[in-house]
Chain A
Amino acid sequence: MKFSTFFYTLWQGVKNIFRNKLFSLASVATISACLFLFGVFYSILANFQHIVKTAEEGVCVVVFFDEDITEERISEIGTMITKRPEVSKINYVSAEDAWNVFKDEYLGEYSDGFTENPLADCANYEIYLNDVSLQNALVTYLESVPGISEVKRSELTALTLSNANKLIGYVSLGIIGILLAVSVFLISNTVTIGIQVRKEEISIMKYIGATDYFVRAPFVIEGILIGLIGSAIPLGLIYFIYNRALNFVRDQFKVLSSLLNFLTVNDVYKMLLPICLGIGVGIGFLGSFSTVRKHLRV
């Protein structure tokens, strides 16, 4: 293929968009509408997942030690726990730390009467998990470790968060799957109608002696460009709306925003941007490629 042919087909692809203004507009609108819905759902679900994840990160298992345990053994146990795959981080709280926190929170000036540390046996590890659904497995392990006298956990919180996380995962998959299927259906229909209009042009090209590449390339380029524009529009809209919505929630529902930790628009776009562009360009490419293919056997 010559360079001039490559640029000619590229230019024809761009021109095709303007030659078939109505079809191009319909295709861009269809892709935009589908990806807008997809983006909105994705943003909501990503926030839900983030909120649950943040809550999960605060759930920890606390282990206490036998009375006669040595500092070396405590350190060994710490190393063993850190190596466990379900553990994200551990935090050692010495007896002094525990007493200081207790004093500050509950006793204040009344603590002056205590000459000895009443929490002398309360040194512990706070263990934070990667995934709260793995809490049971970790607790079983910890209970079998010599030197650990007690394992404290919040089973109800872990179970609720784990279930919520699963539910959000399934709902996300379901909604995104349905939206994608609807998008592909609508877009392939739009492309098919567009190709029907230009069946004549394709057949003329084939009779004159155009190669499959020459026939297909402008349509595929057109499809990719339509996909690109169709995904850029909802991405721009969602960016604007998301920021406005986030500011609105922060201003109007201060209690809510202090309790819940929302994602910034940049965090959401780390995934949403490549996914939307990929879907738009992918659908444009595949839709035009496969639809033109049907008409190449002339």
Chain B
Amino acid sequence: MAFNRPKKKLMEDDEVIVLNNVSKSYQAGVQALSNVNIRIKKGEFVFVVGDSGSGKSTFIKLLLRELVPTTGSIYILDYNLNKIKHRKVPKFRRNIGVVFQDFRLLKDRNVYENVAFAQRIIEVPSAQIRKNVPKVLATVGLAGKYKVKPGRLSGGEQQRVAIARALVNKPSIILADEPTGNLDPKNSMEIMKLLEEINEKGTTVIMVTHNKEIVNAMQKRVITLNKGVIISDVEKGGYNDEI
């Protein structure tokens, strides 16, 4: 993987994500992000907040290498996302566990199969999958519901399954896109507690949200986007009321 390793001066050893002057514009002429500079260290918990149209979705797509920046460069772990080849993208993505607002679980498969699915994809041997999946389901508090289909779970439980799926491959980074967007306040706080526990074990967590209460309660680093521009980046910050 050394061929993709960014030069040291562009990325420090303790950094896992670096965005240098990243801009992204779409064909229709819409400028989604303008000169974004972000450096995220290993083990950080970062909120990315902003209204609709602020560029949050584009930010996530860039981190997942679903999009490439129009200008600027993105480095994640050992990968230069501007230069990574299409066939290397799957291997890169295995370093990032993604959690979506709408859970995106496979409805025709039970809890165990949904989590095991992520392990199958990275070709983990079956015997190892049988050990790993119950362990991760216990971590998210769903050990007793491994046979249940997602449709019979509450929203909070479904999101736990999605987190288990994101965690099972032991990613360096968890990218959560509005993970509490479909949940009530009680379930939201439980999910946040779970994400915090994951973060405390060393996984970098980046969470995109516009849930003011959660951001204010957690007192973590907060990056605020407005119309594609970073308007604030505060350590142990709260929700920016300017947006």
Chain A residues with a Cβ under 8 A of chain B? 1-2, 4-5, 8, 19, 200-201, 203-212, 214, 298
Which residues from chain A contact B169 at a C-beta distance below 8 Å? Answer: 208-209
Is B125 in contact with A209, judged by CB distance below 8 angstroms? Answer: no
Q: How many residues of B contact A (CB 8 A)?
A: 22
Is A214 in contact with B121, judged by CB distance below 8 angstroms? Answer: yes
Q: Is the interface of A mostly helix, strand, loop or mixed?
A: helix
Q: Which of A4, A208, A214, A298 contacts B125 (CB 8 A)?
A: A4
Is A208 in contact with B108, judged by CB distance below 8 angstroms? Answer: no
Which residues from chain B contact A1 at a C-beta distance below 8 Å? Answer: 123
Chain A interface: which of B89-97, B152-160, B234-242? B89-97
Within 8 A of A (CB), among B63-117: 64, 66, 87, 90-94, 98, 104, 106, 108, 117
Q: How far is the CB of A70 from chain B (nearest CB, A)?
A: 80
- Identify 13 new A-B residue pairs, CB closer than 8 A, beyond the known A208-B93, A209-B91: A2-B125, A204-B104, A205-B121, A207-B64, A208-B121, A208-B165, A209-B92, A209-B121, A210-B90, A211-B87, A212-B87, A214-B121, A298-B66
Chain B residues with a Cβ under 8 A of chain A? 64, 66, 87, 90-94, 98, 104, 106, 108, 117-118, 120-123, 125-126, 165, 169
Task: Provide the bound-state CA to CA distance between A118 and B54, in Å.
Answer: 111
Top 8 A-B pairs ranked by shortest CB distance?
A209-B94, A209-B93, A210-B121, A209-B90, A211-B90, A207-B98, A208-B118, A5-B123
Which residues from chain A contact B108 at a C-beta distance below 8 Å? Answer: 19
Task: Provide the bound-state CA to CA distance between A214 and B117, in Å.
Answer: 11
Q: Which of B66, B126, B165 contacts A4 (CB 8 A)?
A: B126
Q: How far is the CB of A118 from chain B (nearest CB, A)?
A: 89
Count how many pairs of residues, one from A and one from B, have CB atoms less than 8 Å apart in the complex: 47
Q: Determine the residue in chain A with the shortest Cβ distance to B109.
A: A19
Between A and B, 8 residue pairs with Cβ closer than 8 Å are A5-B120, A5-B123, A8-B120, A203-B104, A208-B117, A208-B121, A209-B92, A212-B87
Is B123 in contact with A4, judged by CB distance below 8 angstroms? Answer: yes
